[in-house]
Amino acid sequence: MSLIQPARIPFDDPQIVAARTDLVAALRAFLPAESVLEKQEEVRPYECDGLSAYRQLPLLVVLPRTVEEVQRILRLCSERKVPVVARGAGTGLSGGALPLGDGLLLSLARFNRILDLDPVARTARVQPGVRNLAISEAAKPHGLYYAPDPSSQIACTIGGNIAENSGGVHCLKYGLTVHNLLSVTFVTMDGELIELGSEALDSPGFDLLALYIGSEGMLGVTVEVTVKLLPVPERAQALLAAYDDVEKAGQAVGDIIAAGIIPAGLEMMDGPAIQAAEDFVHAGYPTEAAALLICELDGTNQEVSEQVMQVRDLLLESGATEVRTSRDDAERLRFWQGRKSAFPAVGRISPDYYCMDGTIPRRALPEVLRRTAELSKEYGLRVANVFHAGDGNMHPLILFDANEPGELERTEELGGRILELCVEVGGTITGEHGVGIEKINQMCVQFSPEELRQFHAVKEAFDPDGLLNPGKGIPTPRRCSEYRELPTPRAHHAHH
Ligand SMILES: Cc1cc2nc3c(=O)[nH]c(=O)nc-3n(C[C@H](O)[C@H](O)[C@H](O)COP(=O)(O)OP(=O)(O)OC[C@H]3O[C@@H](n4cnc5c(N)ncnc54)[C@H](O)[C@@H]3O)c2cc1C
């Protein structure tokens, strides 16, 4: 079986680059002039996504308006063997939308319409460039909302959410993107239009919809989506608990879930993150605490009242030094304000930060927090922890200064060690940000060569020439053997 090409980044195919003018002419034959960007200053805004340590100017940027245009663009690129990278809002944190120097960047920004909202069926049919939050805003007058809520929801698009199988605070109770979609229509690299899923609960055949979700723009270009909407709960209330010890807070998370309660959000911040958030938004957080838990409960009035009492008792029993319960919605939102702005808050206290994303079994939380702190000392780099504790989805933020020689490299190595620690305790190298180019080496630690071969085979079935987002997501066997030979303690071949 032939495998897809190794990472092209940063290699450019000179033949494709030389034929650029010809490609522009072929695209302009069916696209209006403003839909094809080729000048350096026009394509510069697309040179990176949220993983801004990696930058690459694309060969061209195209901004189609219709599904037919997407089909024609992909067909043309397929014939000429030009690689294509799809892009939503470019908020991705793993370099998934990083352009290729010999590739076309396909922006879905103009696909920004909500096509239909059915309050009776509780569904919305939307274009892929619609912002995550815009769906809930449109559904609000009907008492409905779209549950997955990435912290970037004001900007990120549903097309990007599907590619990354994005999550958020609410996903502990309501599931990730994969649990909240009914159907997806996408265009294959050779221009065919395919619809996956249905309006019914199940559909016959292989569950290709689940396979497509989280495929990081490597199997097709999403052009239409039907999402499920949920009724806005009657009541939501939040508790905020302070701890003098991170491990106790980690333990409390397990205690709440073990008691049979599924909160609508269960998030944790450690000392450095609390301090940074408080300095930034003044949410009233107890800054002397070593850890903070925020637990939101939603449902009917009665359910919420009972669970708030129960959780309060559990938090106190687990050693919380202080527990506050929100008295009204304004206070509940204030509890969340610091958590939701934690990334930019950390950005203020360090020249640069690098956000990791690994998932671990909840029982391993105390151990992983302790060992992360040890690694932070070993590398001499500060780490602030902000994360979806209920899901065991960690977001260690490594603080560094890219202007200090060697610090970015040390940061990446520390990040890699933290991810491999997640695998060692039975977890995974990504919770919601995807693999992209960022975690491609750790895929060699997470999966065996045989398993990776199956991933390549799936990719090849959808995209035989390997033209859609090549070099991302799945490492080549060669890359893995090179990585395993690195003289660091990292490559333990810890297949699950
Ligand atoms: C401050 C901040 C907070 C964040 N918080 C969260 C969080 O809480 N939870 C979370 O899950 N993520 C979070 N993210 C990461 C990011 O917002 C998500 O991964 C998001 O889903 C990316 O959407 P996007 O539209 O920006 O996609 P992009 O970054 O443009 O693209 C992401 C990937 O999707 C592919 N893609 C985009 N559109 C399409 C399409 N139409 N068809 C096929 N492939 C496509 C791209 O090729 C790329 O591989 C955060 C990011 C930031 C900057």
Q: Are residues 326 and 276 in the same domain?
A: yes
Which residue has the least CA distance to atom 37 on ligand 1? 160
pTM value is 0.92
Both structure tokens of 280: 């930034």
Please state the atom number of ligand 1 nearest to the C-alpha of residue 111. Answer: 41
pLDDT > 70? residue 322:
yes
Please give the Cα distance from 232 to 299 (Å, whole number).
Answer: 9
Q: What is the mean pLDDT of the chain?
A: 92
Whether 159 is in the pocket of ligand 1, judged by its Cβ within 6 Å, is yes
Q: Which residue, chain included where needed, has tokens 């960007």?
A: 37
Mean pLDDT of the 232-245 span: 96
pLDDT > 90? residue 200:
no
pLDDT > 50? residue 496:
no
Partners of 238 in the β-ladder: 296
pLDDT > 70? residue 240:
yes
Confidence label for 488 from pLDDT (cuts 50, 70 and 90)? low
Instruction: Report pLDDT for 92.
Output: 96
Closest by CA position to 233, among listed 296, 158, 324, 151: 296
Q: What is the CATH number of the domain that holds 273?
A: 3.30.70.2190
Instruction: Report pLDDT for 187.
Output: 98
250 occurs within a structural domain: yes
Looking from the CA of 151 toward its CB, the CA atoms found within 13 Å total 20
Please give the Cα distance from 348 to 358 (Å, whole number).
Answer: 24
Instruction: Report pLDDT for 430.
Output: 85
Q: What is the CATH number of the domain that holds 42?
A: 3.30.43.10
- Show the domain range for 118: 114-231
Mean pLDDT of the 53-74 span: 96
Residue 395 Cα to ligand 1 midpoint, Å, equals 16
Whether 91 is in the pocket of ligand 1, judged by its Cβ within 6 Å, is yes
3-state secondary structure of 430: coil
Instruction: Report pLDDT for 2.
Output: 27
Instruction: Report pLDDT for 11.
Output: 59
Q: Which of 73, 91, 110 to mutate to test the pocket of ligand 1 (most atoms within 8 A of CB)?
A: 91
Mean pLDDT of the 173-180 span: 96
Whether 222 is in the pocket of ligand 1, judged by its Cβ within 6 Å, is yes
3-state secondary structure of 154: coil
**Domain total of the chain:** 3
318 occurs within a structural domain: yes
Instruction: Report pLDDT for 493.
Output: 38
DSSP string, 67-107: HHHHHHHHHHHHHHT--EEEESSS--SSSTT---TTSEEEE
Whether 151 is in the pocket of ligand 1, judged by its Cβ within 6 Å, is yes
Q: Is the peptide bond before 32 cis (omega within 30 degrees of 0)?
A: no
Please state the atom number of ligand 1 nearest to the C-alpha of residue 433. Answer: 19
DSSP string, 209-277: HHHHTTSTTSS-EEEEEEEE-EEPPSEEEEEEEEES-HHHHHHHHHHHHHTT---SEEEEEEHHHHHHH
pLDDT above 70: percentage of residues in the chain:
96
CA dihedral 18, 19, 21, 26 (to 10 degrees): -170
Q: Are residues 73 and 171 in the same domain?
A: no
Counting every residue, how long is the chain?
A: 496
Q: What is the CATH number of the domain that holds 168?
A: 3.30.465.10
pLDDT > 50? residue 349:
yes
| Interval 263-272: pLDDT, tens | 999 999 999 9
Q: Are residues 166 and 213 in the same domain?
A: yes
Q: Are residues 32 and 82 in the same domain?
A: yes
pLDDT above 90: percentage of residues in the chain:
79
Q: Which of 54, 70, 166 to mutate to test the pocket of ligand 1 (most atoms within 8 A of CB)?
A: 166
Instruction: Report pLDDT for 45.
Output: 97
- CA triple 298-304-307, angle to 5 deg: 110
Please give the Cα distance from 368 to 389 (Å, whole number).
Answer: 12
Type of residue numbered 276 = A
Instruction: Report pLDDT for 7.
Output: 40
Q: Are residues 216 and 249 in the same domain?
A: no
Instruction: Report pLDDT for 214.
Output: 97
352 occurs within a structural domain: no
Instruction: Report pLDDT for 487.
Output: 64
Domain limit, last residue, from 107, 131, 164? 107
Judged by phi (left if over 0) then psi (alpha if -120 to 50, else beta), residue 201 lies in alpha
pLDDT > 80? residue 345:
yes
Residue 49 Cα to ligand 1 midpoint, Å, equals 9
